[in-house]
């Protein structure tokens, strides 16, 4: 019997690309842009440019999984 379910293994890195965050947290690229307004650059995400400088057009944005999880767990809940 075969299964169509694939196991997802988190990468060993604490910094991951948006494709991983989108998949694991069920967010869209627009969601990520909105969250970056509340997240701290350098703590929750970083812009990495190919020249070593964060260029707005060519920068890759990496996300810090442990810090995002802490932020989610500290987020106030209204019941």
Domain ranges, ordered by start, for the chain: 15-73
**SS3 of residue 76 by DSSP:** coil
Q: What is the pLDDT of residues 19-74, one digit of tens each?
A: 999 988 899 999 999 999 999 999 999 988 877 766 667 788 999 999 999 999 99
Q: Which fold is adopted by the domain 15-73?
A: Multidrug-efflux Transporter Regulator; Chain: A; Domain 2 (1.10.1660)
pTM of the model: 0.76
Packing angle, helices 65-74 and 18-25, rounded to 10: 40
Can you tell me the mean pLDDT for 6-30? 84
């Amino acid at each position: 019997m075969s299964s169509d379910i694939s196991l997802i293994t988190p990468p060993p890195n604490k910094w991951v690309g948006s494709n991983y965050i989108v998949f694991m947290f069920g967010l869209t690229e627009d969601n990520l842009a909105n969250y970056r307004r509340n997240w701290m650059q350098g703590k929750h995400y970083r812009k990495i440019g190919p020249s070593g400088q964060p260029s707005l057009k060519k920068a890759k944005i990496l996300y810090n999984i442990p810090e995002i999880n802490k932020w989610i767990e500290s987020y106030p809940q209204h019941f």
